[in-house]
Structure 1
Amino acid sequence: MQSFSQAVKIGEQTHYTSTWHGLKSVYQNGGIAGLFRGVDAAILRTGAGSAAQLPIYNFCKHELLDNGWMKEGLSLHLVSSLFAGFGVGFVMNPWDVILTRVYNQHGNLYSGPIDCMIKTVKTEGLGALYKGFFAQLLRVGPHTVFTLTFMEQTMKMMHAIETKFLP
């Protein structure tokens, strides 16, 4: 769902008066399947990003440590998470493009996310899968940096508490 605007025509605008009205309308037009339209593309997108985030972070962190380029600490976590954020954006962006196209298709242009990817690459080339990559980095990068840095700092605090109170 998106906000309606008479001034700006963005995509295919909806005229739902509330969340419940939107859900009811989608259900009436497409049944249960309508409520889950595009979920396969969303699973691929989220799965790809999640599958890349921690492995890239851990790889970068250990490479920086093992080669003596950085020492354990906040700066190591920030740098490693920056690399992870870039990796997440790189892996997730093609699926984000596909997700957007599947969600916004008029009629049945694509039978699913894989069909959409094949048709997109055939007609526009591989570069089409990286449309909006910079915007993706601006969104995913800070999220990844904050998430992984806070994770490390939380683990550090928990370790300090454990060593203080547990034998």
Structure 2
Amino acid sequence: MEETSGHKEYVAGLLAGVATVVTGHPFDTVKVKLQKHNTEAHGMKYKNGLHCTARIVRSEGVRGLYRGATSSFLGMAFESSLLFGIYSRTKQKLQEGLQNTRPQPQVIIPSAAYGGAIISFVLCPSELVKCRMQVQGTDSLVPKSSRYSSPLDCALKTMKTEGVTGIFRGGLTTLLRESLGNAVFFSVYEYVRYYMHLQLKAASSDHNDLIDVGIGIVTGGLGGVAVSIDKLLYF
């Protein structure tokens, strides 16, 4: 097992979390809008995701797609850093004494599930704030008196009206989602990465950083797809 520096995984996870929010938050905003307004009896109806996106940009500008992103940046950066760090360190401990270099499910699954359970305590409050900020937008459906001026204002008002437990609403579901989801993600990631390296090594002796980046993109993407399917089936 190759040893890594104490902070490398945490920094890599932090950067991955920021990149995730930059690219994924607009899609998440549209998803939340569609889920809320298209399920209300007298709510606003969007024809599809494109119609929803166009309406947001027209009424709020591009920044409307990133409404609630502040809490996501903070939450995802910290959560992703913690997840990768905990997963890597736990995996190293569980692999001690094992000679087999192949991915071991008895190592990957508990390491990923443990990391997912820990980060759920960070993710749950940040997601709650993010969703409430996304939903309010500038729509007339939300009275001005009920609007949040910032993610911090949203968090403070939630705790004031609902107590500390209010900020952790849906915590158990989040814990289960993150534990199971990350077990699936890292399992797919580790196995696909291992077999891709084997195939490339057999095909050519040349191996460089660019190839590693490509493998990382492919394996991370496949892991993300597997997690999405798992979450749809589970919930």
TM-score range, shorter chain: 0.7 to 0.9
TM-score, structure 2 as length reference:
0.57
Counting matched residue pairs gives 161
- Matched with 1:116 is 154
Query: Which of 34, 50, 53 is the aligned partner of 1:2?
Result: 34
The CA RMSD over aligned residues, in Å, is 2.8
Conserved in 1, the CA contact under 8 Å of 2:34 and 2:46?
no
Q: Deviations over 1:95-141 (max 9, x none)?
A: 01111222234336322112222232334332222110122133322
In structure 1, C-alpha distance between the alignment counterparts of 2:49 and 2:192, rounded to whole Å = 36
In structure 1, C-alpha distance between the alignment counterparts of 2:187 and 2:64, rounded to whole Å = 39
In structure 2, C-alpha distance between the alignment counterparts of 1:85 and 1:113, rounded to whole Å = 24
Q: Closer, same or farther in 2 for the Cα pair 1:71/1:78, shift >3 Å? A: farther
Query: Which of 25, 28, 32 is the aligned partner of 2:55?
Result: 25
Query: Which of 67, 89, 94 is the aligned partner of 1:37?
Result: 67
Displacement of 1:85: 1.6
Identity within the alignment, %: 24
Unaligned runs of 5+ in 2: 1-32, 137-141, 207-235
In structure 2, C-alpha distance between the alignment counterparts of 1:97 and 1:53, rounded to whole Å = 19
Q: Counterparts of 1:12-161 in structure 2 under 5 Å?
A: 13-66=43-96, 73-105=104-136, 106=142, 107=144, 109-161=147-199
Displacement of 1:80: 0.7
Conserved in 2, the CA contact under 8 Å of 1:27 and 1:35?
yes
